[in-house]
Amino acid sequence: MRKPLEACGLLLALFLVAALRGAVAAVPPPPAIAAKAYVLVDFHTGKVLAAQNEHERMEPASLTKLMTAYTVYKALGDGAVKLTDAVRVSEHAWRTGGAGSGGSTTMLPINSSAPLEVMLKGMIIQSGNDASIALAEHVSGSEEAFSDLMNRHAKELGMTDSHFVNATGLPHPDHYTSAADIAKVSRAIIAGFPEHYSWYAEKDYVFNGIRQGNRNLLLYRDPTVDGIKTGHTQSAGYCLAASAKRGETRMISVVMAMANEEARAKGSLELLNYGFRFYETRRLAEAGKPLAEARVWKGAAEKVALGVASDVWVTLPRAEAEQVRSAVEAPRDLEAPLTTSSTVGRLRITLGSETLAEPALVPLVAVAEGSLWRQAVDTVLLWFE
């Protein structure tokens, strides 16, 4: 039998081990970022990992051009415009965003024209105000009408803190957004338009014989960073939406109203590194991959594979990621007809006693009703089930 002192020592040792394990598992607070507002989100799940004043309405400066680009991408997807369209530079676009305007510009001559793809790259890489306005006028006839379209798309994306009155981000009392909303449109661009997102990683662009560099300093400092957009006006301060991908995990950071170009780059990278260091994103189920099989009665096929309609991701502190469990909850028997949108069960994803997600299970192929003979036979067989 242990002496009382010995037993106390053992209990204390066990307590210290448990405490140390808890300390390792705990996620420390995010780094102190000298931004008026910031947010760090996981791309796949949209989970907010760090934030400060993320819903406060603020001047976006050229972060506006993310919404401008999204609106143009939607028009491309709808077939309303094409990358090969000749986009004209109006007097308004030239005077407001041209070489003499004092803002960022693609150096487009008045009344000239260039392919829409060139204009997009000028806006994305060089942050050209003239290119932004020319694109807006080409898509909607006027910058004002284009702004209405921007606001419509913003509403569809759930950007509840935003209102846009121009395509450039030039200061206006009714032109505002938030760090959270910029993260939303950033996610939408990366997810919905990967063929265009690659342009955000380009470090420079030459137009009309003039080479201009991308102002996103992180593109030159971290090879995992592949975007997204800088912004600056005297009243808005220095802003940056950034994204990096390491392994399967992608993070998006947004910092707003920082003191200078170096501060926004340093703060953004600190946020991204914090996310990758302490969190992990895992794909627990892949769209179209069989997770279970069910017997189909009265159908053209006797069996059907079950799975999820879209990839299922979870974002967790690294210390907890190994403890996640998933279980299929679905009947063994189903009855035709079945479509690929028929909910026939759930995939329950848990961490301890907490349910993290319950995506629907669906048939991976449609199963039509079988022949009259098949239906008759299965009706009889079901009597004995």
Q: DSSP of 129-172, one letter per residue? A: HHHHHHHHHHHHSSHHHHHHHHHHHHHHTT-TT-B-S-SS----
Residues 85, 210 share a domain = yes
Residues 153, 97 share a domain = yes
Contact status, residue 355 vs residue 295, Cβ threshold 8 Å? no
Residues 355, 258 share a domain = no
Residue 25 — very low, low, confident or very high, per pLDDT cuts 50/70/90? low
Q: Which of 218, 244, 279 is the last residue of a domain?
A: 279
> How far is the C-alpha of 200 from the C-alpha of 217, rounded, in Å?
12
The reported pLDDT for the residue numbered 376 is 77
Lowest-confidence segment of 25-29, 186-190, 230-234, 350-354 by average pLDDT: 25-29
Q: How far is CA 153 from CA 70, 184, 213, 348, in A?
A: 8, 11, 30, 33
Average pLDDT for 8-34: 60
Contact status, residue 311 vs residue 329, Cβ threshold 8 Å? no
Q: Which of 228, 244, 279 is the last residue of a domain?
A: 279
Nearest Cα residue to 135 out of 71, 49, 231: 71
Domain span at 311 = 286-383
Residue 20 — very low, low, confident or very high, per pLDDT cuts 50/70/90? very low
Whether 84 is in a domain gets the answer yes
Catalytic site positions:
62, 65, 127
Say whether pLDDT at 102 is over 90: no
Residues 332, 275 share a domain = no
Residue 209 — very low, low, confident or very high, per pLDDT cuts 50/70/90? confident
Whether 22 is in a domain gets the answer no
- Please report how the helices 64-78 and 143-156 are oriented relative to each other, as an axis angle in degrees rounded to 10: 90
The reported pLDDT for the residue numbered 323 is 92
Residues 293, 259 share a domain = no
Residues 253, 111 share a domain = yes
Contact status, residue 251 vs residue 40, Cβ threshold 8 Å? yes
Mind listing the pLDDT tens digit for each residue in 335-349? 989 999 999 999 999
Say whether pLDDT at 239 is over 90: yes
Residue 72 — very low, low, confident or very high, per pLDDT cuts 50/70/90? very high
Residue 138 burial by CB count (10 A; 0-12/13-18/19+): exposed, middle or buried?
A: buried
**Vertex 67: Cα angle to 196 and 98 (nearest 5):** 90
- Please report how the helices 64-78 and 129-140 are oriented relative to each other, as an axis angle in degrees rounded to 10: 40
Residue 30 burial by CB count (10 A; 0-12/13-18/19+): exposed, middle or buried?
A: middle
Whether 10 is in a domain gets the answer no
> How far is the C-alpha of 191 from the C-alpha of 315, rounded, in Å?
17
Whether 320 is in a domain gets the answer yes
Residue 11 — very low, low, confident or very high, per pLDDT cuts 50/70/90? very low
Q: Which residues lie below 8 Å from residue 78, measured CB to CB, with a gap of 6+?
A: none
Helix extents (H) in the chain: 4-25, 64-78, 91-97, 116-125, 129-140, 143-156, 179-192, 194-197, 218-221, 261-278, 318-321, 372-383
Residues 293, 275 share a domain = no
> How far is the C-alpha of 346 from the C-alpha of 356, rounded, in Å?
13
Q: Which of 279, 302, 319 is the last residue of a domain?
A: 279
| Tokens linked to 383 | 């009597």
Contact status, residue 244 vs residue 272, Cβ threshold 8 Å? yes
Residue 262 — very low, low, confident or very high, per pLDDT cuts 50/70/90? very high
Rounded to two decimals, what is the model's pTM? 0.88
> How far is the C-alpha of 179 from the C-alpha of 40, rounded, in Å?
9
Whether 91 is in a domain gets the answer yes
What does residue 249 show for φ and ψ, rounded to 5 degrees? Answer: -95, 130
What is the CATH classification number for the domain harbouring 312? 2.60.410.10
Residues 345, 204 share a domain = no
Residues 109, 78 share a domain = yes
The reported pLDDT for the residue numbered 67 is 98
Whether 13 is in a domain gets the answer no
Whether 248 is in a domain gets the answer yes
> How far is the C-alpha of 84 from the C-alpha of 86, rounded, in Å?
6
Q: Which residues lie below 8 Å from residue 221, measured CB to CB, with a gap of 6+?
A: 265, 269
Residues 246, 101 share a domain = yes
What is the CATH classification number for the domain harbouring 95? 3.40.710.10
Say whether pLDDT at 22 is over 60: no
Overall number of domains in the chain: 2
Long-range contacts made by residues 217-223, C-beta under 8 angstroms, separation at least 24? 217/261, 217/262, 217/265, 218/242, 218/244, 218/265, 218/268, 218/269, 221/265, 221/269, 222/269, 222/272
Q: What percent of the chain has pLDDT over 70?
A: 92
Residues 306, 202 share a domain = no
Whether the link from the prior residue into 29 is cis, omega within 30° of 0, is: no
Residues 86, 69 share a domain = yes
Contact status, residue 139 vs residue 146, Cβ threshold 8 Å? yes
Average pLDDT for 53-60: 98
Mean pLDDT of all residues in the chain? Answer: 91
Say whether pLDDT at 382 is over 90: no
Are β-strands 249-258 and 204-207 bridged in parallel, bridged antiparallel, or unpaired?
unpaired
